[in-house]
Amino acid sequence: MLIQRASDISSSEITPENLYHNRREWIKTASAILGLTAVGTIIPACAPTVGAAGEPQAKGKYDTTEKPTPFEDITSYNNYYEFGTGKDDPARNSKNFKPKPWTVKVEGMCKKPATYNLDDLIKGFATEDRIYRMRCVEAWSMVIPWAGFPLKTLIERLEPLPSAKFVEFKTLVDPNQYPEQRRSFLKVLDWPYVEGLRMDEATHPLALIATGIYGKPLPNQNGAPLRLVLPWKYGFKGIKAIVNIRFTDKQPVNTWQQQASQEYGFYANVNPNVDHPRWSQARERRIGEFFKRPTLMFNGYADQVSELYAGMDLRRYY
């Protein structure tokens, strides 16, 4: 994601993360050729259900059978601009973040508006494991074993009115905890970070509220204590550290659309046929792999979600 306006940026400037990974991958590849061991890459992270190789096993119908990205990579290569724009800033700057106690304010067109303690809000929800692909709009991807519950479960508890057509989410504003929110000029983004979904998207069975990764509580850098996960959409829809949920009849203006509407829209469905104005979306670099791979329509979830967008021009509604 970019800070500058489109016109200020050449396409060569968007790939610092690719250079970083090229370098890392080159080291791994060189080590393999030389018969050395890249120690950090062979230790399997622990998980609730593990296979012979120590990886979480695909069980549910929405789980991908692709190899999960190591815990170490999922928790050290992040986008979370409140903590800084570098990929390693969130891990470094979120160590003292306080995800507990946590309150979530629910407002707008629903029967249960209130300010909830998070524990009360999600009391009794069964936690599920979901192994999902995640595709960032910057053209890198991971496979993440999440734990959480369907967003639908939470929405049903809040009893939206028939007039509610969208749901909007906001991230915490707290300059004491988020270094980037202490800036008064050269702000990276307008805070709070905002995202939104159409109600039928929000209640789709794939839409998840994540509270954990690899069977552990969600690390701060990944959006503790609760964040959205929408595997068919670009990663920026997956808003972190949610403190506000609002039901509305108007389409929310999400942060990246507000920042650069010619580049980022409301829908942000993964689409290899619609390029970003400054780079191709046809391929992606899976973190931990050397060669790029093709990006799949709806990030490989077309069978499940394409009917949500039947009849829509996906070039227009990007």
Ligand X SMILES: Nc1nc2c(c(=O)[nH]1)N[C@H]1C(S)=C(S)[C@@H](COP(=O)(O)O)O[C@H]1N2
Q: CB 241 → ligand X: shortest distance, Å?
A: 6
Q: CB 225 → ligand X: shortest distance, Å?
A: 13
Tally of CA atoms within 13 A in the half-sphere of 182 that contains its CB: 7
| 235 contributes a contact to Mo ion by CB under 5 A | yes
Q: Measured from the CB atom, is 1 or 104 closer to ligand X?
A: 1
Closest CA to 258 of 47, 56, 1: 1
Q: CB 36 → ligand X: shortest distance, Å?
A: 29
Residues 128-167 that bind Mo ion (CB under 5 A): 136-137
CB atoms within 10 A of CB 43: 11
Site string for Mo ion, 63-82 (x = CB under 5 A): ----------------x---
Token pair in block for residue 186: 């050269």
Closest CA to 252 of 198, 209, 316, 313: 198
- By the criterion CB under 6 A, which residues form the site for ligand X? 1, 78-82, 136, 171, 193, 222-223, 235-236, 238-241
Token pair in block for residue 163: 């007039």
Q: Which does 193 bind (CB under 5 to 8 A by kind): Mo ion, ligand X, none?
A: ligand X
Question: Do 257 and 236 meet the contact criterion of CB atoms below 8 Å apart?
Answer: no
Question: Do 99 and 225 meet the contact criterion of CB atoms below 8 Å apart?
Answer: yes
Q: CB 193 → ligand X: shortest distance, Å?
A: 4
Please tell me the chain's helix, strand, coil percentages from 3-state DSSP, rounded to the nearest 5. Answer: 25, 25, 50
| 172 contributes a contact to Mo ion by CB under 5 A | no
Q: CB 138 → Mo ion: shortest distance, Å?
A: 6
Q: Measured from the CB atom, is 109 or 284 closer to ligand X?
A: 284
Q: Name the closest residue to ligand X (Cβ).
A: 235
Closest CA to 73 of 232, 230, 179, 213: 213
Which residues in this chain contact Mo ion in the complex, by CB under 5 A? 79, 136-137, 235-236
